[in-house]
Amino acid sequence: QVSAALKKGHVTPTELCQRCLALIKSTKFLNAYITVAEETALKQAEESEKRYRTGQPLGVLDGIPVAVKDNFSTAGIETTCASEMLKGYIPPYSATVVQKLLDQGAVLLGKTNLDEFAMGSGSTDGVFGPVRNPWSYSRQYKEKPVPESHPEDEASNWVITGGSSGGSAAAVSSFTCFAALGSDTGGSTRNPAAHCGVVGLKPTYGLISRHGLIPLVNSMDVPGILTRCVDDAAVVLGSLAGHDPKDSTTVQDNFKPFELPSLTDVSKLSIGIPKEYHAPGLSSEILALWSKAADLFKNAGANVIEVSLPHTHYSIVCYHVLCTAEVASNMARFDGLEYGHRSDMNKSTESMYAATRREGFNDVVRGRILSGNYFLLKQNYESYFVKAQKVRRLIANDFMKVFRSGVDILLTPTTLSDAVPYTEFIKEDNRTRSAQDDILTQAANMAGLPAISVPTALSERGLPVGLQFIGRSFQEKQLLTVAKWFEKQVKFPMIELEEVKRHDHGVFQHQKSASFS
């Protein structure tokens, strides 16, 4: 809708940009942004405005403010990955996906906060501090009674965004931008999307270029898309997908952007409910919601059946072996020599390397590097890495079998519970939390399948809960069509945030979720 508004001249790109920048300032306590690129954003907005005035906008995204997770390379804008290692690092090139957005006229507001090097499920372990879930300050959450809480606790009662793309999710959720890029390796886009009440899309591996995305696990990473509605996600997907000669893992097939049909008849759909996703620790609330969603499809005429993905319970362990191994390898380049932090230690090259890496990386990163190197040792390689690759194949085959048997889409929860308070989250360490929180999302990364989290309802605590749809490889159109139908049915409420109301000059027009398409 805002795109139409821009076209009609109801609002100008500069106005839009300024409002978003102002909102970013007044929601600074969320700590969603690491860098706000105010000057360049305004310049881009001005350019966009010129185009609209002459009636030649570049497309739907022209003038639309967006944010990008700080593990995407942005030329001329600091890219830190929320790590000491890259503080002050200003890349000389932009990631392909960033460039594509800019080429479409999008206005880049800034770089969003994350867990250091995207390792984590809370967006709490970056060097710039944790991201706060905007819903912590929503009327919906604040009006709910919190057991055993005192008035003084209110300030510290805020809940996490989930991770690792928490900054991007918070940015979209708090209306400071209309779309944001995240990354998804084990659920890092879908998890915070669910906790922040926004749409989080993980595309098929190989559909969108990873060139410029600072890698965590090269064989699982994908750029993720966070928006306020499914149609928006489809638009952004359309502008990003397609072969990139700079990324040899993108498929060569021609990609055609699509518009989502408004599905009315779901009777030809077969929805699979994988029984293993009734995981230990799944809250009864979410279980009930999942059940309700299944019924929704059934009552509308779809074929809803229980299916089995028998190797699901191996996926966490398998993921940890493969992830840490790739991390150990990918982090080897951070030695302080060519870019990034360099230690003052200069007795020898080795000591400089060691000190630089000790100073530059947090415990989580260092822990994964050590584990990964252990698994890659010659004597361990067969029993860990190769074994994990074989198990990965089994997990991927589970999905293939189910899809081949006639199931179109799988419906699962995205998270085990709604967002927990920060003070509770940090009681367990990163590794434990990741193992717990990734369980529903990372099998899709293992299999390279597309998956999307759609905001479904508010929990008893007044916080968002999302449900996940997993589709066939490269069948994003079908996946998003079903997601859009579901979104229409559930009518997820808009966040009631003071700051947003203050800056809303009718732009958002009291919609359920202010979209731009």
Catalytic residue annotation: 69, 164, 188
| Interface of this chain with another protein, residues 380 to 419, rule: CB under 8 A | 381, 385
| Contact status: 91 vs another protein (CB under 8 A) | yes
CA 407 to chain centroid, in Å, comes to 26
- To another protein, the closest distance from the beta carbon of 330 in angstroms equals 8
CA 308, 311, 314: angle at the middle one, nearest 5?
145
| Contact status: 260 vs another protein (CB under 8 A) | no
Fill in the per-residue mask, 11 to 30: x = in contact with another protein (CB under 8 A), - = not in contact.
Answer: --------------------
For 195-240, where are the E strands, in sequence order?
199-202, 222-227
In angstroms, what is the C-alpha Rg of the chain? 22
Contact 465, 418 (CB under 8 A): yes
Burial of 11 (0-12, 13-18, 19+ CB in 10 A): middle
Contact 235, 223 (CB under 8 A): no
Q: From the list 10, 18, 47, 93, which residue makes contact with another protein (rule: CB under 8 A)?
A: 93
Q: Which is nearer to another protein, 212 or 464 (CB)?
A: 212
Q: From the list 4, 317, 332, 370, which residue makes contact with another protein (rule: CB under 8 A)?
A: 332
| Contact status: 278 vs another protein (CB under 8 A) | no
Q: How far is the C-alpha of 173 from the C-alpha of 343, rounded, in Å?
A: 38
Q: Which is nearer to another protein, 200 or 215 (CB)?
A: 215
**In the structure encoding, which two tokens stand for residue 497, read together?**
């945030």
- To another protein, the closest distance from the beta carbon of 190 in angstroms equals 22
- To another protein, the closest distance from the beta carbon of 213 in angstroms equals 6
Q: How far is the C-alpha of 331 from the C-alpha of 344, rounded, in Å?
A: 20
Fill in the per-residue mask, 60 to 89: x = in contact with another protein (CB under 8 A), - = not in contact.
Answer: ------------xx-------x----x---
Contact 435, 316 (CB under 8 A): yes
SS3 67: strand
| Contact status: 254 vs another protein (CB under 8 A) | no
Helices and strands in the chain, H and E counts: 19, 11
Candidate ranges 160-168, 283-291, 336-344, 420-428; the one touching another protein (CB under 8 A): 336-344
Candidate ranges 7-15, 213-221, 445-453, 471-479; the one touching another protein (CB under 8 A): 213-221
Number of residues that bind another protein (CB under 8 A): 44
| Contact status: 350 vs another protein (CB under 8 A) | yes
Q: From the list 62, 326, 418, 499, which residue makes contact with another protein (rule: CB under 8 A)?
A: 326
The b-or-e profile of 246-259 (16+ CB within 10 A means b, else e) is eeeebeeeebeeee
Candidate ranges 8-16, 378-386, 402-410, 476-484; the one touching another protein (CB under 8 A): 378-386
- To another protein, the closest distance from the beta carbon of 287 in angstroms equals 36
Helix (H) or strand (E) holding 448: none
Burial of 50 (0-12, 13-18, 19+ CB in 10 A): exposed
- To another protein, the closest distance from the beta carbon of 443 in angstroms equals 18
Q: Return residues touching another protein (CB under 8 A).
A: 72-73, 81, 86, 91-93, 95, 210-215, 217-219, 245-249, 252, 325-326, 328-329, 331-335, 337-339, 349-350, 353, 373, 376-378, 381, 385
